[in-house]
Amino acid sequence: MRNIKLTVEYDGTSYSGWQRQPGLPTVQGELEKALLRISGHSVDLMAAGRTDAGVHALGQVCNFRITTRLTPPEIARIANQLLPGDIRVVKAIGAPDAFHATYHAASKIYRYVIRTASEKSVFDRLYHHSLKRARPLDLAAMRRAALRLKGTHDFRSFQGQTIYKRDPVRTILGVKVVRKGPEVHLEFHGKSFLYQMVRILAGTLIYVGLGKIKPDDIPVILAAKDRRKAGPTLPPGGLFLVKVFYPKDAGKSRRVSKIEEGIE
């Protein structure tokens, strides 16, 4: 059986997250149904990250094994004919036999989109978080706070429900705060993330921008290891999985990441 690597984009609004769940619409479930029709046998998709309900992706990566004479581009073309309009295979390529989209992922970039303008459109309300009132955010303060989030820390204060018993230590490689017209984009580059971690980080940076939290409070919040000390958990609609990075030799050896994958 051949190993195929897919890059997928999706609008997560109508789905109960990436991961297959009995009786619920999921992105993984829709993709696997399409691949079943293509191959004639069931496939098990492995993804770089299990996005939560309502979260979107511009560059989700997954892999699967298939028995077919179709080329990867042909698989992508046919899959897109079978998939609903809010899921699309952007790219399909052959992968080394040992490649695993989850365990070989070196890091990911997530983007959270905030709208600060007073004008609100019904057409894009599901793809950003609008402040209740049009208020300017102190981007300089948010950038100072972002610098304090970089590095390896115990992020327990920025973790959602703790039913996922995982090591709370994570490494943030970078955080960008960028103004894009009426929007502010928060980009988080990390090796892996805890449950709802990005949405809580984004909520905390908004509080910094509104003056409710000071940049110098970030180390104190980290040290507290207490979810109540950080900012709010923002809604899922503003969150996008933008890109997943892999080592050049991913799958050419059996070496894989030991990072435990959470749900975002």
Positions marked active-site: 52
Compute the distance between CA of residue 201 and CA of residue 105 in angstroms, rounded to an integer. Answer: 22
Compute the distance between CA of residue 262 and CA of residue 243 in angstroms, rounded to an integer. Answer: 16
Compute the distance between CA of residue 88 and CA of residue 27 in angstroms, rounded to an integer. Answer: 10
How far CA 124 is from CA of 100, 133, 233, in Å, comes to 34, 17, 20
Token pair 């507290």: residue: 224
DSSP 4-65: EEEEEEE-GGGSS-SS-BTTB--HHHHHHHHHHHHHSS----EES-BPPTT-EEEEEEEEEE
Which letter, b or e, does each residue of 215-251 get, where b requires 16 or more Cβ atoms within 10 Å of its Cβ? bebbeebbeeeebebbbebbbbbbbbbbbbbbeeebb
DSSP 250-261: TTTSS----PPP
Under a CB-based contact definition with an 8 Å cutoff, are residues 13 and 237 in contact? yes
Backbone dihedral region of 145: left (phi > 0), alpha (psi from -120 to 50 degrees) or beta?
alpha
60 exposure class (CB count in 10 Å sphere: 0-12, 13-18, 19+): buried
